[in-house]
Chains A and B, each alone.
Chain A
Amino acid sequence: MASSCLAGLAVAASGAETVRVPAGTYVPFYARESVKTARGQEDLHRPISVASFALDRRPVTNREYQLFLRAHPEWRKSAVKPIFADAHYLAHWRSDLDFGDDADAERPVTNVSWFAAEAYCRAQGKELPTTDQWEYALADNGRDRDALRQRILTWYGESGAHELPAAKSGVANGFGVQGLAGHVWEWTLDFNSLMSGPDLRGSGQQFCGGASLGASDPNDYASFMRYSMRASLKASYTTKLLGFRCARNEP
């Protein structure tokens, strides 16, 4: 029992299989800062650089999260403090360590808050990916862009009542990353850095920086939805279709 427990901890410590995402650039959906073009207009298409980093190949599963909970009892359902996770935390688990049946083991863990997700990642010596890292991985250097958008829109159109697919299902994209589209929403480290967009809580009162900037591609409904989702969240929130994966920055 102890040895399998330790073995489990070892797996948990090493984390899920990661892929190395090479350095590159991408155009963020919302421009980060106000930069004017030569003609004095807002440049909404400035690419930003992303340094190379390691990203989990797929979302964290129920089984992996259970291993984390064995070692960190303060994050179990019965013990977690409400400031760290709301009343729906692990709502789909039958008890503190019981995520359900074997099929659930390989499904992405959901109903976890930002605090919980970040605690898990730190326990692996990682962190949540930044929004830039996550979006850059999704953008996949523009490979199959229209098909990707359509896949995302189709996922939006599917009822949330269905069972989640296994975390390792889904075709890997050009970077070798799976399940960025069509599985679950995913937490990012700086989900609350959204400074632009029409859906900010409190009508988007921002200070000390650039004006509220428009989207780089108003036809990209798939991305609008993703940013609206992030804007609706607070760090303690959990939802049935919101999971996460971890990333490690290269030194």
Chain B
Amino acid sequence: MTMSMPSMKTMPTPAPMPGMSIYNLSSQWTTQDGAATALASLRGNLVVAAMVYTHCKDVCPLTTERMQQIERALPKSSEGRVRFVLFSMDWMRDLPDRLRVFAAEHHIDRQHWTLFHGDEAAVRELAAAFGISFQRESNGDFQHSIAIFLLDRDGVVVAEEPDLSKPPQALTAKIRRLLGKR
């Protein structure tokens, strides 16, 4: 993990990365298609993101569903301008193959969604940046907190919804407002 080597460059970008951007993290992730990438590759679009794991039978399927509700509630004109991202916290089991299976099971639109696998250090660092707590149990499952995050085009968290008991109307409304501001 090369968190602090000054020689590693992030992708060339027109404007400097804001100090509070999640994309300042230099950890490497792998998509469900096996492509190795840095977080900064998400720059340029609004991002709706959450940390889950595929073997979760509790809140993670609900999280995915809520994100899909947001996706459905957005106007057609938003296509291509909002990316939906799931980061797996299960570095042992949620390898890219497994992520593809999960995406199929949940009818996830691969055009607009990216699922990421990261190693233990990457997961820990991202959870720390998001403020998500997690703990791996002896059977491989996780206890964790949950929230859906909205990142602006530069990767700064601009909204966070930890209450998944109802449809995420506030988040959807905020996305619409941000899209309108282009």
Contact = CB atoms under 8 A, between A and B. Distances in A.
A151 interface: no
Interface residues of B, number: 34
B44 interface: no
B57 A208 contact: yes
Nearest to B162: A202
B1 interface: yes
A122 B1 contact: yes
A84 B162 contact: no
Contacts of B135: 32, 190, 193, 195, 209
B4 A193 contact: no
A182 to B, nearest CB: 27
B133 A192 contact: yes
Given A193-B133, A194-B133, A207 B143 contact: yes
Nearest to A201: B131
Contacts, number: 92
A81 B134 CA distance: 24
A82 interface: yes
A123 B4 CA distance: 8
A192 B143 contact: no
B145 interface: yes
Interface stretch (A16-24, A71-79, A139-147): A71-79
B134 A205 contact: no
Contacts of A192: 127-128, 131-134
Given A72-B6, A82-B19, A208-B143, A32 B162 contact: no
Interface in A158-195: 189-190, 192-195
Nearest to B2: A122
Interface in B45-68: 56-60
Nearest to A194: B133
B145 A208 contact: no
Given A190-B124, A195-B135, A205 B4 contact: no
B85 interface: no
Interface in A105-152: 114-115, 118-119, 122-123
Which label, helix, strand, loop or mixed, suits the secondary structure of the A interface?
Answer: loop
Interface string A228-241: 00000011100000
Nearest to B127: A192
Interface of B is mostly: loop
A33 interface: yes
B19 A122 contact: no
A206 interface: yes
A74 B145 CA distance: 31
Contacts of B58: 207-208
A194 B132 CA distance: 11
Contacts of B24: 81, 83-84
A100 interface: no
A210 interface: yes
Contacts of A72: 4, 6
B128 A114 contact: yes
Interface string A216-248: 000000000000000000111000000000000
A192 B144 CA distance: 10
A209 B133 contact: no
Which residue, B1, B3, B131, B135, has most C-beta atoms of chain A within 10 A? B135
18 contacts: A32-B137, A33-B138, A74-B6, A83-B19, A83-B20, A115-B3, A118-B3, A119-B3, A119-B4, A192-B132, A195-B133, A200-B133, A206-B144, A207-B143, A207-B144, A208-B59, A208-B143, A210-B143
Interface of B: 1, 3-4, 6, 19-22, 24-25, 56-60, 124-125, 127-129, 131-135, 137-138, 141-146, 162
Interface of A: 32-33, 72-75, 81-84, 114-115, 118-119, 122-123, 189-190, 192-195, 200, 202, 205-210, 234-236
